[in-house]
Structure 1
């Protein structure tokens, strides 16, 4: 993985760490392309200025793209952007963990009978 890919992934995870940014992404995922005003109306925990600041961070991370139409700005999730790479990373990691977990479970089944017998003897 290149340094640029690693930096992009770090920006995505940093963006996802904030609950307001996750709310913004949820709004965009539910409604598609939205104006900043609409997004602000959906998130009552913070004001418009804060939402704008978070939208800027999401744009910088590459997760969100902006389209301008006159004075209006519309935002949407970029499904092909760095968020996709981060999602692939998480999916690969979880799949490996499941495989290891299954292997661990099958190899420890024989050991669990031994542990049960020891616990009964100790009681």
Structure 2
């Protein structure tokens, strides 16, 4: 696993941070106040702390506009690398399942020529 993948998985290991990501995925670019309103299990300051972790790990972007900060998912950041890592694992598992299913089907096929 690469350093970027590790950063993403560490950031995603927390339930509140996953909820924040879900909110950002549904809502697009939001302020910390807007995120805190939708994440009802913790307060605004805790959301800010989690956003700092998500931002430094490359999962979330921050854009400043005057005194406001807007947060959005970083589709090109470390989460992309983690997604590709998981995708590779899942593709390999599907390939193995498919190959195992093909082998089982050919062994039980009465039309198969046994010589």
TM-score (norm 1): 0.81
1:29 equivalent among 25, 29, 47:
25
- Which residue does the alignment assign to 2:41? 45
- Which residue does the alignment assign to 2:58? 62
- Which residue does the alignment assign to 1:118? none
1:98 equivalent among 94, 101, 105:
94
- Give structure 2 stretches of 5+ with no counterpart: 109-115
Q: How many residues align?
A: 109
CA distance in 1, matches of 2:33, 2:5: 28
Most deviating of 5-14 and 93-102: 5-14
**After TM superposition, which residue ranges in structure 1, 4 or more long, deviate above 3 angstroms?**
108-112
Over the aligned positions, Cα root-mean-square deviation in angstroms equals 1.7
C-alpha displacement of 1:106: 2.6
2:69 equivalent among 64, 67, 73:
73
C-alpha displacement of 1:109: 4.7
CA distance in 1, matches of 2:52, 2:89: 29
- Give structure 1 stretches of 5+ with no counterpart: 113-123
C-alpha displacement of 1:60: 1.0
CA distance in 2, matches of 1:85, 1:65: 16
Q: Is the aligned partner of 1:86 residue 2:59?
A: no
